[in-house]
């Protein structure tokens, strides 16, 4: 399982989003995970809609971090999706997160895959979402269902 934290960092310069991916069982950072963030003025955007900007997609660095610079003016909503093979989202996909709320209080999405052994405290500017890396047996079961 993974924890994905989206952190909003604002300065006088352009505001930054920092995405941190952690293993939800161990709390260790996971590098090389593909994460996409779409930004929009609409809280009702779906996966089929084109976002105002993006999506911005990058792989996390060896420390599990991905950085994004927000455009000026900053969009109001952020949508996080995971794009690594066999990585399952453990949060409501396509759920809009208010950038204003992220900046003020931080947000933790409900973990739909279980409970993390260590849970970082949600801080202002963070969006914490969960994901699960499928095991080999889970991949085989998923393939069998498609046959």
pTM: 0.74
pLDDT at 12: 42
In angstroms, the Cα distances linking 120 to 4, 78, 83, 112, 126 are 11, 21, 23, 17, 10
CATH number at residue 10: 2.60.40
Written as six digits, the tokens of 5 are 């934290």
Q: Which domain holds residue 80?
A: 2-146
The total number of structural domains in the chain stands at 1
117, two tokens: 């052994």
CA distance 146 to 117: 32
Alpha-carbon distances, residue 142 vs 23, 92, 127, 134, 145 (angstroms):
22, 20, 29, 10, 5
pLDDT in 10s for each residue of the chain, 147 residues = 555 455 555 444 557 777 777 776 666 677 888 988 888 877 776 655 666 566 888 898 897 777 887 777 878 888 888 888 777 777 776 678 888 888 788 777 777 777 777 777 677 777 777 777 888 888 888 788 776
Strand order in 53-59's β-sheet? 53-59, 34-40, 77-82, 97-98
């Amino acid at each position: 399982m993974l924890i994905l934290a989206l952190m909003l960092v604002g300065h006088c310069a352009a505001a930054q989003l920092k995405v941190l991916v952690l293993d939800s069982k161990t709390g260790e950072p996971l590098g090389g995970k593909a994460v996409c963030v779409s930004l929009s003025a609409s809280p009702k955007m779906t996966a089929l809609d084109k976002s105002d900007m993006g999506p911005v997609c990058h792989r996390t660095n060896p420390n599990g971090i991905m950085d994004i610079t927000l455009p000026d003016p900053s969009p109001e909503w952020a949508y996080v999706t995971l794009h690594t093979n066999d990585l399952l989202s453990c949060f409501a996909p396509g759920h809009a997160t208010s950038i204003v709320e992220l900046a003020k209080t931080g947000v933790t999405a409900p973990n739909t895959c279980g409970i993390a052994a260590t849970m970082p405290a949600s801080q202002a500017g963070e969006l914490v979402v969960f994901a699960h890396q499928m095991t080999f047996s889970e991949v085989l079961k998923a393939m069998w269902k498609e046959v």
